Amino acid sequence: MHTKVKAAKGTPFERDFDGEITSLEPYAPASQGGDPETFFWRHRWELSETADGTLLVNVESFTGTMAEGVPAQTREVVTAEFDAFNQALLRVLVEAQAEGVSGGV
């Protein structure tokens, strides 16, 4: 599934790029995008049940000529983006649980 992504919205690092959802498995959705020559990313979210609730792990890898520099230069922005996404995902999951939705969420 093709996507349009806006990253680092409202910062000097704001950028638009094409992405692709590569997996919609309920507990391991994944996406990828960018330019394979200069900066290409792969992202996977891993959700698992624990005794204390749900554990969410973000896994991301980068390739291309800018793969080392971009994450180092934008670490604060990327961390803020992950935090915002994780909080949004938590809200969706809590709302789904409150509505009695399970399984595919």
| pLDDT tens-digit series, residues 76-85 | 877 887 787 7
The partner residues of 15 in beta bridges, in order of sequence, read 7
Residues 56, 95: contact at Cβ < 8 Å?
A: no
* pTM, to two decimals: 0.63
- Report the alpha-carbon angle 83-6-62, nearest 5: 70
pLDDT tens digit string along 19-64?
A: 788 887 777 888 888 888 988 889 888 888 889 888 888 888 989 9
Helices (H) and strands (E) in the chain — how many of each?
2, 5
What was the pLDDT predicted at 13? 67
User: Which of 8-12, 14-18, 57-61, 84-88 has the least mean pLDDT?
Assistant: 8-12
* Model pLDDT, residue 56: 85
